[in-house]
A and B are shown apart, each in its own frame.
Chain A
């Protein structure tokens, strides 16, 4: 058994995503409990898991998550893709030529 190893890029990006999501939630004036209620989650602990950088917003929950945080779903999903899959994000949205 070990503690988590040193932060690789993916982990660091997930952490950044968590920080960004927390900022958005605070801007929307919602607590973790309130956001969980809006997303139809039984417990608010999943919100914490993601904001602490240990999980990802599931694709199927992105739209509701975005709307709860007063964000445009497409822009929200795009930003998250940049954190969760930076290579795919680069291929889709950045000029590679």
Chain B
């Protein structure tokens, strides 16, 4: 069968060149990252840009408009990086990459929420204890002032 293959009867199928812009569907999927970030109390700004080679980039930005996540499409591959150039995920499947990003934006916020709650509980306990101790000390001082002269008289 392979003998029949020659340049006359084999048609080379080429992938259509990818656009240098994001498609509507891609943008729709990527804005899910913003939604995930806003659900965890983060800012929900985003912007787009291009690399020198024309590969489209999508930036998820914080309140100071610093990049939290950067998603780039290179050929048919999506690369997700954090704001420091660390690769978070890379795949040909955009949804899988977004899912990784979604987990990433959820993680630190989740931890900070837990830390905040823990701190609140510790501070509340300490305030209650301080109040109780203060009350006990005041009571003890009062008792001492009351009975000390009598005790001294007995001695």
Contact = CB atoms under 8 A, between A and B. Distances in A.
Interface in A46-72: 46-49, 52, 54-56, 58, 61
Interface in B64-92: 64-67, 70, 72, 74, 79, 81, 83-85, 87
Contact of A1 (B34, B59, B66, B67): B34
Given A43-B72, A43-B81, 10 more contacts: A2-B44, A31-B52, A45-B70, A45-B74, A48-B51, A49-B57, A49-B67, A49-B85, A54-B59, A55-B85
B81 A48 contact: no
Interface residues on A, range: 20 to 34
A55 B81 CA distance: 11
Interface residues of B, number: 30
Interface in B40-61: 44-47, 49-53, 55, 57, 59, 61
Contacts of A49: 49, 57, 59, 67, 70, 81, 83, 85
B78 to A, nearest CB: 11
Contact of A58 (B50, B72, B85): B85
Interface in B112-147: none
A55 to B, nearest CB: 5
Given A1-B44, A4-B61, A44 B87 contact: no
A55 B83 contact: yes
Which one of A5, A31, A33, A48 has the greatest number of beta carbons of chain B within 10 Å? A48
Given A1-B31, A1-B34, A45 B47 contact: no
Nearest to B33: A1
B137 to A, nearest CB: 46
Contacts of A8: 65
A5 B46 CA distance: 9
B46 A4 contact: yes
A36 B57 CA distance: 16
